[in-house]
Amino acid sequence: MFINDIKRVIEQISKERGIDSEFLITTLKDALKAAAKKRYGINIDIEVNYNEETGELEVFEFKDVVENVEDDALQISMEKALKLDPESEIGDSLGRKIDASELGRIAAQSAKQVIIQRMKNAEKEAVYSEFVGRKGEIINGIVLRRDKGDIIVNLGKTEAILPVAEQMPKETYKRKERVRAYILDVLSEVKGPQVILSRTHPNFLIALFKAEAPEISEGAIKVVVAVRDAGIRAKIAVTSDNPDIDPVGSCVGLRGSRVQNVVQELKGEKIDIIQWSSNSVKFVCNAMSPAEILRVIVNEASNSMEMIVSDDTLPLAIGRKGQNIKLAAKLTGWNIDVKSESAYSENLKDGYASLIALKKVGSQLAGKFTEKGFFSAMDIVSASVEDIMQVEEISEEEAEEIIKEAKDYIAGLK
């Protein structure tokens, strides 16, 4: 390990392994100190200097000049000091350069162990620092092996894990096959940094669009939210502050080129690109794409919306196994219920009839109640006194009586 061209080796290791050269120099100095103490004893006063111009590491042992030596490791007699330096005086600290060859095989081995351990730790830190700063990026790797269902991926400087839960359904991975994934997390473990990958996370979808559409990475288009049923269907909401930019069209790309590239990477996952809107009703209607919404009934108290669609588009609105409505609800944060136009009309008729059946509402006030969003006796039961008082000029006492009558009406139907 004690070689002449230390400077060249330091520069080479620093470049190849990404370890700071100053750290390597400090490690070598500490290693030489450890070797010297191993050879001459732990109490000796050792100083190691690095000459940047020559690339030489120099080891010096220092002893105090005294009249009577009480500690051979730290003191030297005046007589011996004068032989080394004729100008020596009592109280001086006299240094002696130690030849590396004097340290011996055991001491050299001790220094080697210090260097190896420090190098391993430094490599771990360098890898962790690099990848923790890359969280949220897409990375390419090579499949190495399977480990209890997880996929171990070679990233070059380290290995990563693609857990079973983060793998796309029905995807198979062969050894030496290239895999593209999203850096979900980077953990600092005793054995080294653990890079966690994902191909199912919604942010992987966002990162893919960011790679395809420069407008997103440049900030001209903002991805507000994305949701996925990985491998099957996804919805992504986009917007832009620039009126001249069509965020949906930009993500779709010329002849659908951009979205098709993303679909291809996700092995055919169907992707709905949604125009985000600050208007909740409009946003939910957009999120229900490709279904066309005929009417929306909003209940802010329960954070829900009832969407009325034509009878022939009801299956499209709900989606296979309720997928479209489930993703739309997840995307918007609203509870969504879908009804066909015919079912809604039938319910509306029954509801209106129940309003008329209430003596304190009757045909005279039924229309006023529907204008305020009360379409049935059940709606009145769910309302507060203050809500009912907003219909016409109904007093608090009358509102309480109407709610009580509605409750009795519903109870009588059971």
Has residue 107 got a pLDDT over 60?
no
Q: Say which CATH number the domain at 398 has.
A: 1.10.150.20
The answer to whether 330 and 322 have CB atoms below 8 angstroms apart is no
The answer to whether 197 and 219 have CB atoms below 8 angstroms apart is no
Same domain, 26 and 107: yes
Q: Is residue 44 part of a domain?
A: yes
Same domain, 41 and 120: yes
Has residue 111 got a pLDDT over 70?
no
The answer to whether 325 and 317 have CB atoms below 8 angstroms apart is yes
Q: Say which CATH number the domain at 171 has.
A: 2.40.50.140
- 292-296, 331-335, 368-372, range with greatest mean pLDDT: 331-335
Edge-first strand listing for the sheet containing 304-309: 295-299, 304-309, 335-340
Q: Cβ of 140: how many Cβ atoms within 10 Å?
A: 11
Round to whole Å and give the CA distance between 183 and 154.
13
Has residue 282 got a pLDDT over 90?
yes
Among 198, 214, 245, residue at a domain's last position: 198
The answer to whether 377 and 410 have CB atoms below 8 angstroms apart is yes
Rounded mean pLDDT of 117-125?
A: 72
Same domain, 156 and 94: no
Residues above pLDDT 70, as percent of the chain: 89
Residue type for position 263: V
Per-residue pLDDT, 370: 78
- List Cβ neighbours of 172 (8 Å cut-off, separation of 6 or more): none
- List Cβ neighbours of 108 (8 Å cut-off, separation of 6 or more): 1, 2, 35
Among 180, 198, 216, residue at a domain's last position: 198
Instruction: Work out the mean pLDDT of the chain and round it to a whole number.
Output: 84
Among 96, 130, 164, residue at a domain's last position: 130
Q: Is residue 20 part of a domain?
A: yes
Same domain, 10 and 119: yes
Give the chain's domain count: 3
The answer to whether 221 and 250 have CB atoms below 8 angstroms apart is yes
Per-residue pLDDT, 414: 55
Same domain, 178 and 142: yes
The answer to whether 210 and 227 have CB atoms below 8 angstroms apart is no
Q: Is residue 309 part of a domain?
A: no
The answer to whether 193 and 179 have CB atoms below 8 angstroms apart is no
Q: Say which CATH number the domain at 79 has.
A: 3.30.1480.10
Nearest to 326, CA basis, from 237, 234, 200: 234
Q: Is residue 286 part of a domain?
A: no
Q: Is residue 154 part of a domain?
A: yes
Per-residue pLDDT, 172: 86
- List Cβ neighbours of 8 (8 Å cut-off, separation of 6 or more): 55
Q: Is residue 279 part of a domain?
A: no
Same domain, 109 and 38: yes
Q: Cβ of 144: how many Cβ atoms within 10 Å?
A: 15
The answer to whether 223 and 206 have CB atoms below 8 angstroms apart is yes
Hey, CA dihedral for 302, 333, 269, 243, is it positive or negative? positive
Per-residue pLDDT, 51: 75
Residue 97 exposed, middle or buried by CB count within 10 Å (0-12, 13-18, 19+): exposed
Same domain, 18 and 81: yes
Per-residue pLDDT, 413: 65
CA dihedral 99, 100, 106, 109 (to 10 degrees): 170
> 3-class DSSP state for residue 292?
coil
Per-residue pLDDT, 378: 81
Same domain, 189 and 98: no
Same domain, 153 and 116: no
Please give the residue range of the domain that contains residue 149.
133-198
Per-residue pLDDT, 37: 79
Residue 233 φ/ψ, nearest 5 degrees: -155, 150
Long-range contacts of 222-229 (CB under 8 A, 24+ apart): 222/247, 224/276, 225/276, 225/331, 226/202, 226/331, 227/202, 227/327, 227/330, 227/331, 228/200, 228/201, 228/202, 228/269, 228/327, 229/323, 229/326, 229/327
Same domain, 23 and 119: yes
Q: Cβ of 279: how many Cβ atoms within 10 Å?
A: 10
Same domain, 53 and 79: yes
Has residue 265 got a pLDDT over 90?
yes
Same domain, 184 and 69: no
Q: Is residue 237 part of a domain?
A: no
Q: Is residue 345 part of a domain?
A: no
